[in-house]
Amino acid sequence: MTNVTAQEFQATTHVPLRPVDSTSAQSFPLLRLKAVCKSFGATKALSDVSIAFEAGKIHCLLGENGAGKSTIGKIIGGLYAPDIGDVLLEGQEIRVNSPSHARALGIAVVHQELSLAPDLSVRDNLWLGAETKWCLSRQGESRRAVDVLSQLGLELDLEKPVNTLPVGTQQLVEIGKALMNAPRLIVFDEPTAMLGAVEKQQLFTVLRRLRASGISVILVTHHIDDVMEVGDCVTVMRNGRCIDSFDLEDHLQGADVLERLTGQRQVFEAAHELREATGEILLEIETSGADSTKKISVRCGEIVGLYGVLGCGAEDIVQGLVGLKTFRNTRYLLGGKRFKPSQPVDAMRHGVGYLAAGRQQNGVLSQRSIRENLMLTQLHQFSVMGWLSRTSECKHATQQLADAAVKYGCQEDAIESLSGGNQQKILLARAMAGARDLLVLEEPTAGVDIGAKQQIHERIKAAAARGLSVVVLSSDLPEVIALCDTIYTLHQGNIVNQYEAPDETCQAQIVGDVLGRYEVQS
């Protein structure tokens, strides 16, 4: 272990872990996959994939769930080994046999699902995986941690456990952890899934800085807007194969990229139905700020969105609504009566269904089957005097999986055998099953592809059309505008504005609200 000062460590930022010969760097791409194949049982995840990743470029892997994008990232990061084919680093064939080996080669991976140690502090999480190369004083570690977080636009208490942070902030800490080892190549797997518009722009600024310093970035994404914003080149994946690879030239538009992805000139978002909210008020939320009290109202059959940057207070409102926390400055009325659930099961007894953000951390039981994950909160319906009717349970599971358009083989398969989009459909179905009057959704389409996103939106709208009230907390502003009948913007715990029947013309003002450019109305 090398003893260095914090300043010496700082000087190594964005420098390769081993010297790069300038001649070979010009002759070979930084990393190349050559005829790579990978199967999991009967499922062929990658078929004859060949891609070159150049130094100092942001290379986007674009495709739907199950296209093979994340599998490529895991092979590069040492989590999987290819069945057939070669991985070449600067023209030299390598076999990355573990994540620690990848880090030693200067390769970092920011996975879609968080890999943080929830009970450890922010500082200790940032240093996980970097301890063996550097030995700094505790003060030096803190300075380095602060510097990395500042690149992401974050100012955090380094001693705070990461499980006390919002999921979006945890995502940024995960990205910071990848930067600690001064990598030469970073794979980002859906890094914007939990980030709002402001945090996303902070991330894009970091990606541009990495590119300018010569670091290669592989951006795995479903979002064409992200590709057009920061990408230099793109590889389109479909069913485990490379369909097309091309540079993003100035004349290319998002529609051109979408056509190569789907084979269609355009994919239309389901039109937002402007529905007049005429139902009775089901839910009222009163928040008391320093100067005023503001109210959020949700009518029967209405979809209401809460939008703001990380830490705006929307997470607190939702957590209080479903019984995860209690806040003195927030008061809830459900059906005209005071509503103060002490825990989520109490909220569920009152007909409130809840989909939490963070699929792997707060949603799926990874070692359990599809059926068990879906029916987890419904078992009491199929139990008589403590005896569970498995026949009835399986029958209802089959119907719910069909209604949710989940692609699966057998109910008893592990839920982790499914794509992220299908896992999310199951979690939504579970939440909807418990929603008699109110459905509360956090990041309902995070990490799902275009097709699955549209299907989820259609299910939510259909539920609202049947009279179910829906509260949506999403960091995806276009989604909030497309999905919601009413949007409330929040800033520093205050409700700033209310937008009824929102459309794209509201977008600039909404962003201004959440950045604090508009004073809170009393």
In tens, the pLDDT along 140-161 reads: 788 888 988 887 778 899 999 9
For the record, the structure tokens of 241 come out as: 């194969």
Beta-bridge partner residues of 245 = 235
Q: Residues 10, 154: one domain?
A: yes
pLDDT at 44: 85
Is residue 399 within 8 Å of residue 356, measured between CB atoms? no
Q: Residues 232, 288: one domain?
A: no
Q: Residues 315, 255: one domain?
A: no
Confidence of residue 292 (pLDDT cuts 50, 70, 90): low
Task: Please tell me which residue, 205 or 6, carries the higher pLDDT value.
Answer: 205
pLDDT at 507: 83
Q: Residues 214, 360: one domain?
A: no
Task: Please tell me which residue, 96 or 2, carries the higher pLDDT value.
Answer: 96
pLDDT in tens, 207-255: 998 898 888 999 998 777 788 889 999 998 888 899 888 888 766 666 6
How much is the average pLDDT of 81-108? 91
Task: Please tell me which residue, 152 or 258, carries the higher pLDDT value.
Answer: 152
Q: What single DSSP character describes residue 56?
A: T
Separation between Cα atoms, residue 178 and residue 170, nearest integer Å:
13
pLDDT at 13: 39
Whether residue 470 is contained in a domain is answered as: yes
Q: What is the CATH number of the domain that holds 69?
A: 3.40.50.300
Whether residue 439 is contained in a domain is answered as: yes
Please report how the helices 197-212 and 507-514 are oriented relative to each other, as an axis angle in degrees rounded to 10. Answer: 90
Separation between Cα atoms, residue 116 and residue 124, nearest integer Å:
10
Confidence of residue 312 (pLDDT cuts 50, 70, 90): confident
Separation between Cα atoms, residue 369 and residue 413, nearest integer Å:
5
Whether residue 355 is contained in a domain is answered as: yes
Separation between Cα atoms, residue 352 and residue 350, nearest integer Å:
6
Question: Which residue in 53, 212, 143, 198 sits closest to 510, CA to CA?
Answer: 198
Check whether 401 has a pLDDT greater than 90.
yes
Rounded alpha-carbon distances, angstroms, from residue 517 to 197, 288, 347, 509, 512: 15, 21, 36, 9, 5
Which is it for the CA torsion 173, 156, 472, 434, positive or negative?
positive
Task: Please tell me which residue, 224 or 45, carries the higher pLDDT value.
Answer: 45
Q: Residues 443, 509: one domain?
A: yes
At residue 495, φ and ψ (nearest 5 deg) are -80, 120
Give the residue numbers spanning the domain of 448. 281-514
How much is the average pLDDT of 174-196? 84
Check whether 284 has a pLDDT greater than 90.
yes
Residue where the block lists tokens 């994939």: 49
pLDDT at 25: 46
pLDDT at 107: 93
Q: Residues 30, 158: one domain?
A: yes
Separation between Cα atoms, residue 131 and residue 144, nearest integer Å:
12
Domain's final residue, options 230, 262, 294? 262
Q: Residues 467, 391: one domain?
A: yes
Check whether 134 has a pLDDT greater than 70.
no
For the record, the structure tokens of 229 come out as: 């914003």
pLDDT at 7: 40
pLDDT in tens, 426-480: 999 999 998 999 999 998 988 787 778 888 999 999 999 999 999 999 888 888 9
Q: How many domains does the chain have?
A: 2
Domain's final residue, options 213, 229, 262? 262
pLDDT at 428: 93
Q: Residues 394, 506: one domain?
A: yes
pLDDT at 51: 95
pLDDT in tens, 221-234: 877 778 888 999 99
Separation between Cα atoms, residue 502 and residue 507, nearest integer Å:
9
Separation between Cα atoms, residue 246 and residue 157, nearest integer Å:
43
Question: At 13, which amino acid appears?
Answer: T
At residue 420, φ and ψ (nearest 5 deg) are -60, -40
Whether residue 64 is contained in a domain is answered as: yes
Separation between Cα atoms, residue 122 and residue 157, nearest integer Å:
7
pLDDT at 262: 59
Q: What is the DSSP string of 429-475?
A: HHHHHT-SSEEEEESTTTT--HHHHHHHHHHHHHHHHTT-EEEEE-S
Whether residue 323 is contained in a domain is answered as: yes
- 32-46, 106-120, 245-259: segment of lowest average pLDDT: 245-259
Whether residue 63 is contained in a domain is answered as: yes
Q: Residues 238, 326: one domain?
A: no
Bridge-based pairing of strands 330-334 and 281-288 is antiparallel
Whether residue 126 is contained in a domain is answered as: yes
pTM of the model: 0.63
Rounded alpha-carbon distances, angstroms, from residue 80 to 45, 77, 208, 509: 12, 8, 28, 45
Domain's final residue, options 231, 262, 293? 262
Q: Bin 332: left if φ > 0, else alpha if -120 < ψ < 50, else beta.
A: beta
Q: What single DSSP character describes residue 273?
A: P
The CA-based angle 296-299-305, given to 5 degrees, is 50
Judged on CB neighbours under 10 Å (0-12, 13-18, 19+), 82 is buried
First and final CA of the chain: distance in angstroms?
A: 59
Residues with Cβ within 8 Å of residue 399, at least 6 apart in sequence: none
Residue where the block lists tokens 């927030």: 330
How much is the average pLDDT of 283-290? 79
Check whether 271 has a pLDDT greater than 70.
no
Is residue 419 within 8 Å of residue 447, measured between CB atoms? no
Q: What is the DSSP string of 105-157?
A: TTEEEE-SS----TTSBHHHHHHTTTTTTEE--HHHHHHHHHHHHHHTT----
Mean pLDDT of the chain: 82
Check whether 4 has a pLDDT greater than 70.
no
Bridge-based pairing of strands 494-500 and 486-491 is antiparallel
Count Cα atoms within 13 angstroms, Cβ side, for 403: 18
Percent of the chain past pLDDT 90, that is, above it, reads 34
Q: Residues 189, 305: one domain?
A: no
Bridge-based pairing of strands 134-135 and 84-89 is unpaired
Whether residue 354 is contained in a domain is answered as: yes
Rounded alpha-carbon distances, angstroms, from residue 511 to 190, 497, 507: 22, 11, 6
Note the maximum CA span of the chain.
Answer: 76
Is residue 176 within 8 Å of residue 154, measured between CB atoms? yes
pLDDT in tens, 8-34: 443 443 333 344 444 444 578 999 999
Residue where the block lists tokens 């995070």: 446
Count Cα atoms within 13 angstroms, Cβ side, for 494: 18
Q: Residues 256, 287: one domain?
A: no
pLDDT at 1: 36
Q: Residues 197, 289: one domain?
A: no
pLDDT at 225: 79
Bridge-based pairing of strands 469-473 and 303-307 is parallel
pLDDT at 505: 85
pLDDT at 278: 62
CB atoms within 10 A of CB 178: 22
Percent of the chain past pLDDT 70, that is, above it, reads 85
Separation between Cα atoms, residue 493 and residue 39, nearest integer Å:
48
Confidence of residue 291 (pLDDT cuts 50, 70, 90): low
- 35-39, 163-167, 173-177, 514-518: segment of lowest average pLDDT: 514-518
How much is the average pLDDT of 352-367? 84
